[in-house]
């Protein structure tokens, strides 16, 4: 006896006796065609499912990107104001100059360059500055005027090393000023002293 092959997962049982009826034969062939079509379509459906998964993964990555942009778009905190030593001119002198819009850009550039130089100078001399400030603090706590004066003198000596850089930056600044503004900057009462850095 010849064993018949087992039907596939999508095939209906098929018997040779059914060939005797044309109607049954047509129905079986129709079902066989549908079953084969489904079998052929299965890999494509699986690939499509994987593709959909990849698209979903990519979409989730793309969607997450604007979130960081929104975070970055949040208002920034106000920038820390420059320390007194970083100011090229005394605040009261700069206010009197009444800088025009035409002067503003180059004026700001010179100020920023000097501020960078000042920060580098401070970093290089930080141990000496800290020592003088600590001595000043101890003198004030002890109400020792002599110690306070010594600490202030020490701090003044440290910051005097920045004066050549301030002079050079101020010379650049003067080239932008009008005669009236120049008279304000050159007024002896408006000159920066080393004491300005510690008061």
pLDDT in tens, 118-141: 999 999 999 999 999 999 999 999
Mean pLDDT of the chain: 74
In the prediction, which pLDDT does 176 show? 94
Task: Answer whether 185's CB lies under 8 Å from 174's CB.
Answer: yes
- How much is the average pLDDT of 15-19? 47
Query: How many angstroms separate the Cα of 14 from the Cα of each of 1, 30, 39, 115?
Result: 17, 12, 17, 92
Residue 143: its H or E element? none
Task: Answer whether 180's CB lies under 8 Å from 118's CB.
Answer: no
Q: What pLDDT digit, counting tens, does each position of 32-91 carry?
A: 566 555 555 555 545 555 544 444 444 343 434 444 444 444 445 545 556 788 888 888
Task: Answer whether 114's CB lies under 8 Å from 86's CB.
Answer: yes
Model confidence, pTM: 0.55
The full 3-state SS of 145-176, as one line of letters, equals HHHHHHHHHHHHHHHHHHHHHHHHHHHHHHCC
Q: What is the domain partition of the chain in residue ranges? A: 21-60, 84-197
C-beta contacts of 128-134 below 8 A and 24+ residues apart: 128/154, 128/158, 129/155, 129/158, 132/158
For the packed helices 101-124 and 126-142, what is the interaxial angle rounded to 10 degrees? 80
Task: Answer whether 28's CB lies under 8 Å from 14's CB.
Answer: yes
For CA atoms 85, 88, 192, 100, the dihedral sign is negative
Query: CA 86 to CA 97: how far, in whole Å?
Result: 18
Among 15-19, 108-112, 180-184, the range scoring the smallest mean pLDDT is 15-19
In the prediction, which pLDDT does 53 show? 47
Close Cβ partners of 103 (under 8 Å, ≥ 6 residues apart): 176, 177
Query: CA 17 to CA 24: how far, in whole Å?
Result: 10
Instruction: Select from 109, 126, 94, 99 the least CA-distant residue to 192.
Output: 94
149 pLDDT more than 80: yes
In the prediction, which pLDDT does 190 show? 85
Task: Answer whether 89's CB lies under 8 Å from 155's CB.
Answer: no
């Amino acid at each position: 006896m010849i064993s018949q092959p087992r039907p596939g997962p999508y095939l209906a049982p098929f018997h040779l006796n059914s060939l005797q009826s044309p109607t049954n034969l047509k129905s079986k062939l129709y079902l066989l065609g549908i079953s084969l079509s489904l079998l052929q379509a299965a890999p494509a459906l699986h690939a499509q499912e994987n593709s959909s998964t990849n698209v979903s993964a990519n979409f989730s990555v793309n969607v997450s990107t604007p979130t960081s942009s929104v975070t970055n778009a949040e208002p920034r905190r106000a920038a820390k104001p420059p320390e007194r030593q970083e100011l090229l001119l005394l605040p009261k002198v700069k206010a009197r100059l009444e800088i025009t819009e035409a002067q503003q850009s180059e004026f700001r550039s010179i100020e920023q360059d000097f501020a960078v130089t000042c920060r580098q100078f401070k970093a290089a001399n930080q141990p000496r500055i800290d020592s003088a400030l600590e001595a000043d603090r101890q003198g004030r706590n002890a109400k020792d005027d002599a110690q306070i004066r010594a600490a202030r003198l020490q701090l003044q000596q440290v910051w005097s090393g920045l004066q050549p850089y301030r002079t050079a930056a101020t010379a650049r600044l003067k080239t932008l000023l009008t005669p009236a503004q120049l008279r304000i900057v050159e007024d002896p009462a408006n000159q920066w002293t080393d004491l300005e850095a510690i008061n």
